[in-house]
Chains A and B, each alone.
Chain A
């Protein structure tokens, strides 16, 4: 039996996973419907974001250059990393050894296995998104793009927090867990040497990095340390600062969380010119902002007739929550990092065509994902193409 099929069938035995996914799917469906009903303008924004994304994918190299130029102009330090190895080395070079590092959830960091790499170099690294911290504590992997711990029950969360962090809990209620973790992480956040975040969008015209969130951890991670490192895929580049803003709003809306509690915009390091109008970098915010743009198959995909469509994805995760197969198996159905309908394409782009093609064989072709994708990505067509790659590789083409 194939690896993917085995993992999916094992997940089918997990009743608490199934119940958790069912609840999450129902809640998301209701939340998104409510957001779109109350804010119909979001659907117009989505069309504008889709067009902007298309224009970037068509001229990706041009926009990468433009974004790097703009980043330099605002005093940030841009890098283009072609492979995960290159990206890891760049970040390791910035962080150094024996440091305290705080991270906010980033799927690209997962692609790079960044946390593990930095830990191996003798750094202490903490995830600050609650869900991602739980995933770190269980030594697992995120099961959804926006809700990485969608598979972890409150009981399991309480057990992880008390056993792995030594935090004392009495009731084990979600409120108590959140409060305990807040106190625990506060100390790490204040003393961290480096804060690492992803990015939801990077504006090519200005070098502004956009991050959208509700927990409030990202603004602390990106604002309190001396060094802020942004690790993101080149697909996150948007032509203008306005396009970038629209992209994060659309992402939040289709994740069912709208308006998002926080939108963070970072255009270079903090500075002040309050004394004799002399510019000094490193005021209350970071002194250094490093932006690592990760390729990892994306530039190649941008030239591909089928996979280029995947690059429009804003990772809202709605297709996952609407998919009958994902609702039974979460990200067990997919590659190492990305699962579900969007995970098939992303796995093909960033990890392995072979893994993606095999996983695609379990796609029902029911097209629910196509209908709910705010970027109108033909996800089931990508899956169908991957199935054809699978049969070819198996020598079954005819």
Chain B
């Protein structure tokens, strides 16, 4: 597979369908339907679809890997409507992602945050286009996203992952004229409201090693909040050799261009995490996907599921990794 074909497939698919990989639109907001979240407001939960896309990205990358062997003509096929039928995510992974997002929604309600949900306007942020240097495609896509948010009267967005938080907070204002929506991450909100008093006895949920995502740690300064929350939830937080601001990338960002390189970096990071515990807590869907791809007897769990268990007593399927 050559770089150009992968990049052009991603740009073309995003501009045509709004999502960087072939996936049905309803896969983005299906998780929220049982919760009955309000549709209108000024403060919106904005997932940016990244969690929901992870199962599709994984399926798509393996499709690309297979097509890659057939050359670039086949790779072009991957960007067509036909590909949407071929990309079939693992059902269990989709359920897991839906469990994570509903845990986040419930935790926000528990913290007394009032918010509405965007449903069909919960559009993909376009962060991958930006990360891959597809600047013009990103600019066009971002303008559409902003238009939808403006139409819904959004004044403040609650984001749930580092990539979407970063791109909305730091990149949109540079690329989208007039963008002035406030962006707050759910961990910042939860830490403020739930982080000060323990919900469970210290360490009652056992020990876990924390893997900080690069963007939270280095670009957004979200380091202390997840630790405070995990501790209040009853987790003993273990620090790996490289943690906090000096955290080490999971390799995920190059997954589409070199799955082998991404895998090697993930293996190196997992070895390091493993030195502290085989129970790893991740804070980002990309880290989750890339580390779980190489995990053997280690358990990789998203922080939202751990917090749901600690604060809500809910076992979101795989809370705290059991």
Contacts and interface: CB of A to CB of B under 8 A. Distances in A.
In the complex, the 3 A-B pairs of residues with the closest C-beta atoms, listed nearest first: A398-B136, A387-B133, A366-B249
Given A391-B133, A391-B134, A398-B139, A371 B261 contact: no
21 contacts: A1-B1, A5-B3, A5-B258, A12-B264, A22-B268, A324-B248, A325-B254, A360-B133, A361-B3, A365-B214, A366-B218, A367-B218, A367-B219, A368-B249, A371-B245, A387-B132, A390-B3, A391-B133, A396-B7, A396-B11, A396-B134
Task: Please classify the interface of chain B as helix (H, G, I), strand (E, B), loop, or mixed, using the class held by over half of its residues.
Answer: helix
Contact of B133 (A5, A12, A368, A384): A384
Given A2-B2, A361-B257, A368 B135 contact: no
Nearest to A357: B133
Nearest to B129: A391
A328 B264 contact: yes
Interface in B242-262: 245-246, 248-249, 251, 253-254, 257-258, 260-261
Interface string A315-344: 000000000110111000000000000000
Contact of B254 (A364, A384, A386, A396): A364
B287 to A, nearest CB: 11
A1 B2 contact: yes
Interface string B115-145: 0000000000000000111111101100000
Contact of A324 (B3, B219, B249): B249
Contact of A391 (B2, B7, B139): B7
B87 interface: no
Q: Which of B2, B214, B245 has the most CB of A within 10 A?
A: B214
Contacts, number: 103
Given A327-B268, A396-B134, A8 B258 contact: yes
B261 A328 contact: yes
B137 A367 contact: no
B283 interface: no
Interface residues of B, number: 34
Interface string B19-54: 000000000000000000000000000000000000
A170 interface: no
Interface string A371-397: 100000000000010111111001011
Interface of B: 1-4, 7-8, 11, 131-137, 139-140, 214, 218-219, 245-246, 248-249, 251, 253-254, 257-258, 260-261, 264-265, 268-269
A76 B255 CA distance: 53
A325 B266 CA distance: 11
A348 to B, nearest CB: 14
Interface residues of A, number: 35
Contacts of A18: 264
Contact of B265 (A328, A358, A367): A328
Nearest to A370: B218
Interface of A: 1-2, 5, 8-9, 12, 18, 22, 324-325, 327-329, 358, 360-362, 364-368, 370-371, 384, 386-391, 394, 396-398
B257 A362 contact: yes
Given A9-B261, A328-B268, A368 B218 contact: yes
A364 B4 contact: no
Q: Which of A387, A388, A391 has the most CB of B within 10 A?
A: A391
B258 A9 contact: yes
A364 B249 contact: yes
Contacts of A384: 133
Given A5-B3, A368-B218, A368-B248, A391 B132 contact: yes
Nearest to B10: A396
A328 B269 CA distance: 12
A361 B8 CA distance: 14
Contacts of B245: 371
A362 B2 contact: no
Contacts of A5: 3, 257-258
A361 B253 contact: no
A133 B7 CA distance: 41
Given A328-B268, A364-B253, A391-B134, A2 B139 contact: no
